[in-house]
Amino acid sequence: MKASTFAMAVILVYIGVLLIGYALVLDGAGLPGRFVGYYQLDGIQIMYGLARQSGSPLIYEWVVAGVLKPGNTTVNVGIESFDNLLCSNGTSPFELTVSVGDSSISHNSLNASITLYRQNALIISHVKVVVNTTMCRINPDQVYVYVEANVNEK
């Protein structure tokens, strides 16, 4: 092989490898397809009583961030380790709100779910848990909120 042909081949191979590599990065190769987080609602035993006395709801609000493959993603949020559901109108004492980008959904239950398309690997969602202290009477225990994000298969 001549040196000039070889030089051209080296450039072409180099560009080819770069493009293949970048396509793999775009596809999210090597990134997880699932994210799971468990968040403890700190001090719910004490704060529930204080909030109830002041007639206000007890609010937990935080940001969940993680790295996932880009693509169609479903984010599930739910309350765990809670058995004492005692609202007078039969509803959940929790209102869950999940926001990812411009999409947002609220559920007055123990679960909330949202599906959206993501272009970037970094997923950032805001989770808000409002505990109703006026209409409901709960016996708070250790309460956990799980956040699970799954990238749906293409």
Per rule CB under 8 A, is residue 103 in the interface with other proteins? no
C-alpha radius of gyration, the chain, whole number: 23
Q: Which two structure tokens, joined as six digits, stand for 69?
A: 């493959």
Of 90 and 119, nearer to other proteins (C-beta) is 119
* CA proximity to 67, closest of 103, 111, 40, 29: 29
What count of residues does the chain have? 154
Per rule CB under 8 A, is residue 139 in the interface with other proteins? no
Per rule CB under 8 A, is residue 96 in the interface with other proteins? no
Q: How far apart are CA 122 and CA 106, in angstroms?
A: 23
144 burial (CB, 10 Å; 0-12 / 13-18 / 19+) is: middle
For other proteins, the binding residue among 77, 98, 136, 145 (CB under 8 A) is 145
Among the listed ranges 61-69, 73-81, 89-97, 108-116, the one in contact with other proteins (CB under 8 A) is 61-69
Q: Which two structure tokens, joined as six digits, stand for 57?
A: 């709801």
What one-character DSSP code corresponds to residue 45? H
For other proteins, the binding residue among 39, 87, 107, 137 (CB under 8 A) is 39
Tell the smallest beta-carbon distance from residue 14 to other proteins (Å).
Answer: 5
Of 38 and 117, nearer to other proteins (C-beta) is 38
Per rule CB under 8 A, is residue 86 in the interface with other proteins? no
- Give phi and psi for 15, each to the nearest 5: -65, -40
Please give the residue ranges that form the binding site for other proteins (CB under 8 A): 1-3, 6, 9-10, 13-14, 17-18, 21-22, 24-26, 28, 30-31, 35-44, 47, 50-51, 54, 56-67, 70, 101, 119-122, 124, 126, 145, 147
